[in-house]
A and B are shown apart, each in its own frame.
Chain A
Amino acid sequence: MIDQQKLYEIWVYLQAEPLFWLTLTIGSYLIADYFYRRSNLFPLLNPVAISVLIVSVILLTFDIQYERYFDGAKFIHFLLGPATVALAIPIYKKWDLILSNSRAIFISLIIGSVFAIFITYGLSSYFELQQELILSLLPRSVTAPIAMGISELIGGIPSLTAIITIITGIIGASLGIFVFDLMKLKKMEARGFSLGLASHGVGTARAMSRDTNAGVFAAVGMGLSGLVTSVILPLFIKFIF
């Protein structure tokens, strides 16, 4: 007969340790990645989306606070910073390709970044959302730390912007390919760049896992759209509100 009291004590001990949450996070990712590969990289089985779902369902089922989970998983979260710095390496390796297309990059960057702001504003106004929510939505295309900074600056709610931004990333990363295929766009660099521009890090991760050139252009798109948006969005706000 299993000693239930003892099992409970072990569980109480383990769930307070990072090891359990790190193992759960990596395990969920491996499972999601396995099915993603088995499905021949079917876009809707995006590994980030699926593993987020697996972990969330477990937390909700066992009534575990997010803060408890994050306290362990933060060691994985920490690596996002160094990974961002590491993007310098693939960009460096493809520098000549980037330089020879700098005009294409510049024009697409400006058009894409401005379009992202206008379409978000237009749609939010159409749905008659409150001003505070609109302001939290506007910076959603750029990487979360930049988006939260802009949100605070223009009067949005940074934590809400963080949520909206991550959802934007996951949507772009998992559905983007349907748009590209529908439009019969063939150039991996164009697909990658727009993924980085419109859905930041999650989109870049996705592009990087499919094609090196796509990944490099995604990283460039993400970095540059972050810069451009943090300059033009506050100007746009002054103009509109």
Chain B
Amino acid sequence: MLNSIFLIFFFQLVGEFIQKFLELSIPGPVIGLFLLLIMLLLSKKKYYKIPVNFQINLINSAENLLNYLPLLFIPVGVGVVMHLSLLEDNLVPVMLVIIIGTLLTLAVTAFVMERLLKVVNKDD
């Protein structure tokens, strides 16, 4: 467990370092995600070996953490409600832009992908 937490923190740390060092607009944790993914994929190609125990451990820890992903957005979400006054008189039009814009973007993206995907429908 501790090994996996260390590894995840370590990759985030490296990601944050790279982000600051190269002054990238991509956040450190996202860079950490890519690096960890690359490391796992390279191990699959047998460039080096990650002990099976450790892999299982890593998978379990990551999935445990991801189970609580929604919880992690609450502190920021509360900040949004407490700072809604920043939007002043624009609250209604801004909300309309967000709601209409988001739903249409979801519709277009999902529509395009539904037609291009090569996967089997679960209910068919």
Which chain A residues have a beta carbon within 8 Å of chain B's beta carbons? Answer: 25-26, 28-29, 33, 47-49, 51-53, 55-56, 59-60, 66, 69-70, 73-74, 76-77, 79-93, 95, 97, 100-101, 103-105, 107-108, 111-112, 115-116, 119-120, 123-124, 127, 129, 133, 137, 140-141, 143-146, 149-150, 153, 159-160, 162-164, 166-172, 175-176, 179-180, 183, 185-191, 193-195, 197-199, 201-202, 204-206, 208-209, 213, 215, 221, 223, 226-227, 230
A-facing residues in B42-66 (Cβ within 8 Å): 44, 58-59, 61-63, 65-66
Tell whether, in the assembled complex, residue B66 and residue A185 are in contact, meaning their CB atoms are under 8 Å apart. Answer: no
The reply to whether A185 and B111 form a contact with Cβ atoms under 8 Å apart is yes
- In the complex, residue of chain A having the shortest beta-carbon distance to the beta carbon of B88: A133
Dominant secondary structure of chain A at its interface with chain B? helix
Q: By the criterion CB–CB under 8 Å, are B105 and A190 in contact? A: no
When distances are taken between beta carbons in the complex, the residues of chain A under 8 Å from B26 are 146, 226-227, 230
- Cα separation A59 to B81 with both chains bound (whole Å): 10
B27 touches A145 (CB 8 A): yes
What would be 24 A-B contacts, judged by CB atoms less than 8 Å apart? A80-B29, A83-B72, A85-B33, A85-B36, A86-B61, A86-B62, A89-B58, A90-B66, A92-B37, A101-B116, A124-B97, A127-B97, A137-B97, A137-B98, A143-B30, A149-B27, A162-B80, A163-B86, A167-B98, A171-B99, A185-B110, A191-B110, A198-B102, A226-B26
Whether the Cβ atoms of A190 and B113 lie closer than 8 Å is yes
- Closest A residue, CB atoms, query B5: A82
Across the interface, which residues of A come within 8 angstroms of B113, CB to CB?
A: 104-105, 108, 187, 189-190, 193-194
**Interface of chain B: mostly helix, strand, loop or mixed:** helix
Q: Knowing A48-B70, A190-B114 touch, does A199 contact B102 (C-beta < 8 A)?
A: yes
Interface contact B65-A95, CB-CB below 8 Å: no
Write the nearest CB–CB distance from A138 to chain B, whole angstroms. Answer: 10
Q: In the bound complex, do residue A69 and residue B106 qualify as a contact, i.e. CB atoms below 8 Å apart?
A: no
Check A153 against B25 for contact (C-beta < 8 Å).
yes
- The total of Cβ contacts below 8 Å across the A-B interface reads 317
User: For B29, what are the chain A residues with a Cβ–Cβ distance below 8 Å?
Assistant: 80-82, 84-85, 145
Report the Cα distance A112→B101, complex, angstroms: 11
Q: Are B81 and A198 in contact (CB under 8 A)?
A: no
A52 CA to B15 CA in the complex, in Å? Answer: 29
The 7 lowest CB-CB distance pairs between A and B, nearest first, are A112-B109, A104-B116, A52-B77, A194-B109, A84-B29, A145-B27, A89-B62
Given that A186-B123, A226-B30 are contacting pairs, would A28 and B74 also be in contact in the complex, using a CB cutoff of 8 Å?
yes
Least CB distance from A217 to B in Å reads 8
* Residues B30 and A59 in contact, CB atoms below 8 Å apart: no
Q: Is the CB of A77 within 8 A of B76?
A: yes
Q: How far is the CA of A49 from the CA of B113 in the complex (A)?
A: 27
Residues from chain A with a CB closer than 8 A to the CB of B123 are 186
Contacts of B103 in A (CB 8 A): 171-172, 175-176, 179
- Complex Cα distance, B116 from A124, in Å, reads 31
Q: Mark out the residues of chain B between 65 and 124 whose CB falls within 8 Å of any chain A CB in the assembled complex.
A: 65-84, 86-87, 90, 93-114, 116-119, 121-124
On chain B, the residues within 8 Å of A146 by CB distance are: 25-27, 30
Contact B86 A70 (CB under 8 A): no
When C-beta atoms are compared, the residue in chain A nearest to B120 turns out to be: A187
8 Å CB interface, B1-38 against A: 5, 8-9, 11-12, 15, 25-30, 32-34, 36-37
Known: A51-B71, A88-B32; 6 extra A-B contacts, CB below 8 A, are A55-B78, A84-B27, A89-B62, A172-B102, A209-B70, A230-B25
